[in-house]
Structure 1
């Protein structure tokens, strides 16, 4: 349990964010009944807000909790999901942003209809809503509930309902402007809290060299490696990371409405591209401030300086390491700063949930409701979006008992993404880079690829000892992607493309055509920023290979 002063700090922070959200959403220049303002912030977002909002929507309480758990259990290896994101964000900035901004779409299913057909839009809309509920809301609720139960002794479901009420209130009423402004503040608080616990655990361990010495003594030096050999217990060998992650990453960062909606609200193309690349630089930090503290906790445990008896599983000799981050807060952080750390956890939780709710509202309104009622007014669209977001909260809460069965929340979320992403990544990539990618081929690829991913997921869970069940999920993602590409290519020749006036402008004539756009002058130019980010990532991987 934490001290009264920390409870006061945490409560004041939550109250501040809620008030800020209401103010941001209701004080805009335009009426919130206007759909463009509610869902896309009137297309007024600049690059700092876009970058911080992208990061905040991506990094939730789930990441703080599960990445610390991964750091304790397996070392830095899970950091690949953070660092590989930077490469994917470069792809988003260079190749996808121009089409998204120029086409003026409000949702990514809308873009898919313009490039292919209405059936593709409908399918992606449904999948996007379902994935947002499960991945961005339900898993975040689960992580937040575990933390608050550990710290405050509040029943997990009670705390989740309270979070749902306060976050849902300002998000559903205020729209994207409220989401982005609160996320910008929450990113700063989240990073501050993470840096605090990293510094405190670093001091407690004694620095880098003492940590290395402990790892050497226990033959655990591989915990510092980001690139592991074949057969590694983490099931993330280097080739699986470089083959499988791009499939996950392109879906998540380039084709997922919850994430990309911040980009769609950009003032212009340059603001969007710079904001995306800014997020790519911020994504370097999680390895050092989210995962490394978990590794420090492992070292402290081996040194006998951190008591983990509170994580002992009843009737076993093992530890339930899901609560390692909460335990570090209570054991390593002095009173007063604990409140800041709890505020950081709440920041991550609230920001991802708010972002997902706004994305769901946009999808339900534009891609589902407006199809049934093409003449719907802006007021009706906003009202429908609010109802859809409210229902999404209830469904997410109902899914919690099922998702809680995963031993590692981070592995759980990526396991689900691995079976959703391949067909969506396939149709977006081929749609943007291949002129001959046809509408009917994309439609069938989405249907068949999604069905195949579902079957493979069920088999891997029901028969874990089978051939499918023993394939690392990252490699399974790559295999499913290859099957989808082969399927779409074959079908595109069977059902040749017939371009419309709109679709004929939504693909690159050749890959280098994207670099012909000038962009801002100097170091702010997207090509310069992309080159710098790429160089930094290569150097980091070389050092932690």
Structure 2
């Protein structure tokens, strides 16, 4: 049954009520009397529950929810590594990167590179961040969400995309990060509850845990596959994921901005812990339904239809509308977060730094609002361009893009934070040469040129590029020597200045580590 045919008046009523509730919440936060800083960092007043829920809501997009069930339908739990390995890098963000970020009192990632290396590095990263945000966070998400909404409503995809942009842009322009985080938190709770209900209902339909386990191939429940596995060999996952993980969780403006908006370092660190605990449930409510669909509907022609097949087949009306609302929520959460990060980087790292250093708070707020609107228009064009590209495997395609964009930034940030000997010449050369090499190799790999068999697995290839760039940066630093006159806190100094009360936080990380190692023992 087509999605549009499965929805009735009750479902559409639920969707409309949800959108009204979301807009009401967003505008309520937006029109409160707040300072200009709220547009970018919510006045650095966020508490850990909102930080954790916002990180979770920003990470979960419609493409992720649908493609997770699809890849699980086709391959089982192996892709869950991308969720269950994330805690390592959320811990790295909280306990290693956050002390440096808070200690230097930055608002953006490019600003950090300026204080660590040079203004040129800041300008380069600003341009790169704008590009990555528009393509990955906005263009790709809008395409996936617009495609879903066009199927639900029967609208042309361009109308669906414009409609969703209007909703996401409205309170992002007026309320900034404060409105984004509050709506993210609301939507995250909704996503977790609705997807959990779907999983429970599907399990009841299957009848028993034994039937669920034995009705699919045995390797569907294995997280680490043999080295000759064509999709996700263990070495590619364990070596390649950290490259994208460092970039995505520790240096990407859209994720880190939530932590920078924390009331203090402890609130930001606890927010990371909370987000890491939330990641535990993702495979159970997004991936397992795909395996359940394999049990109940083993002959689907398109694996990416697994999630909505479960929704439209087994949920009652009203609940179908709620799930669709969840997907719309995930879309808006990702888009409004991307728009806010886009305006923050452009305003603080390009407009204020290059064009008008003496700008007033009101001018910065206005330019941020204009950039948000302009970014939304550009994102519409990008998403419509993506719609013209044939896409057979959304999960692997998005993962491939992330893996080939991340090596240069992951290398520069990890070396810059862990080693004071890294200098500005090595950082700039690694950013420029690394970006050209990584993106160029990525394009050739995705295009299959000179042949598909020419390259190793794309995640392992990403690791090789990352390792080569680290060696390159270290060698250049040793050859050219330390930067004269620059004083940068060591990791130990930054942690002493910022991590003054981490005893309880480390206990939570220990509990999380025990849980995650137990899960890996169970699923291997």
Give the TM-score normalised by the residue count of structure 1: 0.91
Taking the TM superposition and a 5 Å limit, the aligned residue runs for 1:277-296 are 277-296=273-292
Give the Cα separation in 1 of the matches to 2:144 and 2:39: 29
The question of 1:491 aligning with 2:476 is answered yes
**What does the per-residue CA deviation read over 1:416-452, in whole Å, with 9 as the maximum and x for residues that have no partner?**
1111101101111111111101011001100000000
Q: Give 1:407 deviation, angstroms.
A: 1.4
Give the Cα separation in 2 of the matches to 1:132 and 1:517: 30
Q: Give 1:326 deviation, angstroms.
A: 2.0
Q: Give 1:401 deviation, angstroms.
A: 4.7
Check conservation: 2:266, 2:499, Cα contact below 8 A. Answer: no
Structure 2: gaps of 5 or more residues = none
- Secondary structure class of the residue paired with 1:283: helix
Greater Cα shift, 18-27 or 444-453: 18-27
Structure 1 residues 464 and 231, CA gap change in structure 2 (3 angstroms): farther
Name the counterpart of 1:375. Answer: 358
Name the counterpart of 2:466. Answer: 481
Check conservation: 1:10, 1:343, Cα contact below 8 A. Answer: yes
Taking the TM superposition and a 5 Å limit, the aligned residue runs for 1:25-424 are 25-28=30-33, 30-31=34-35, 34=36, 36-215=37-216, 220-234=217-231, 236-302=232-298, 308=300, 319-370=301-352, 371-404=354-387, 405-424=390-409
Name the counterpart of 2:513. Answer: 534
Give the Cα separation in 1 of the matches to 2:519 and 2:398: 25
Q: Give 1:509 deviation, angstroms.
A: 4.6
Q: Give 1:135 deviation, angstroms.
A: 1.3
**What does the per-residue CA deviation read over 1:239-290, in whole Å, with 9 as the maximum and x for residues that have no partner?**
1111111110010000000111000100001111111111001011110000
Check conservation: 1:515, 1:527, Cα contact below 8 A. Answer: no
Structure 1 residues 469 and 390, CA gap change in structure 2 (3 angstroms): farther
**What does the per-residue CA deviation read over 1:193-217, in whole Å, with 9 as the maximum and x for residues that have no partner?**
11111112111222321122212xx
- Secondary structure class of the residue paired with 1:161: helix
Q: Give 1:153 deviation, angstroms.
A: 2.3
Check conservation: 1:139, 1:409, Cα contact below 8 A. Answer: no
Let me know the Cα RMSD of the aligned residues. Answer: 1.9
Name the counterpart of 1:312. Answer: none
**What does the per-residue CA deviation read over 1:116-151, in whole Å, with 9 as the maximum and x for residues that have no partner?**
111111111111111111111122112212322333
Q: Give 1:458 deviation, angstroms.
A: 2.0
Name the counterpart of 2:488. Answer: 504
Check conservation: 1:150, 1:323, Cα contact below 8 A. Answer: no
Check conservation: 1:125, 1:368, Cα contact below 8 A. Answer: yes
Name the counterpart of 1:311. Answer: none
Q: Give 1:165 deviation, angstroms.
A: 0.6
Give the Cα separation in 2 of the matches to 1:177 and 1:3: 35
Give the Cα separation in 2 of the matches to 1:516 and 1:276: 16
Check conservation: 2:150, 2:157, Cα contact below 8 A. Answer: yes
Question: Given the alignment, which residue of 434, 450, 457 partners 2:442?
Answer: 457
Give the Cα separation in 1 of the matches to 2:196 and 2:130: 33
Give the Cα separation in 2 of the matches to 1:510 and 1:270: 17
**What does the per-residue CA deviation read over 1:358-408, in whole Å, with 9 as the maximum and x for residues that have no partner?**
000100100111122111111221222222222222222222355342212
Give the Cα separation in 1 of the matches to 2:452 and 2:469: 20
Greater Cα shift, 356-365 or 200-209: 200-209
**What does the per-residue CA deviation read over 1:55-86, in whole Å, with 9 as the maximum and x for residues that have no partner?**
11111112111101111111111111111111
The question of 1:10 aligning with 2:53 is answered no
Check conservation: 2:347, 2:368, Cα contact below 8 A. Answer: yes
The question of 1:519 aligning with 2:486 is answered no
Check conservation: 1:75, 1:223, Cα contact below 8 A. Answer: yes
Give the Cα separation in 2 of the matches to 1:240 and 1:510: 35
Give the Cα separation in 1 of the matches to 2:446 and 2:499: 47
Check conservation: 2:41, 2:261, Cα contact below 8 A. Answer: yes
Q: Give 1:411 deviation, angstroms.
A: 1.3
Structure 1 residues 375 and 510, CA gap change in structure 2 (3 angstroms): closer
Check conservation: 2:71, 2:304, Cα contact below 8 A. Answer: no
- Secondary structure class of the residue paired with 2:297: helix
Name the counterpart of 1:313. Answer: none
Structure 1: gaps of 5 or more residues = 309-318
Check conservation: 2:69, 2:290, Cα contact below 8 A. Answer: yes
Q: Give 1:516 deviation, angstroms.
A: 9.7
Check conservation: 2:444, 2:450, Cα contact below 8 A. Answer: no
Q: Give 1:334 deviation, angstroms.
A: 0.8
Give the Cα separation in 1 of the matches to 2:449 and 2:310: 34
Give the Cα separation in 2 of the matches to 1:5 and 1:516: 52
Q: Give 1:510 deviation, angstroms.
A: 8.9
Give the Cα separation in 2 of the matches to 1:459 and 1:63: 25
Check conservation: 1:266, 1:272, Cα contact below 8 A. Answer: yes
Aligned residues: 516
Name the counterpart of 2:412. Answer: 427
Greater Cα shift, 326-335 or 45-54: 326-335
Q: Give 1:517 deviation, angstroms.
A: 3.6
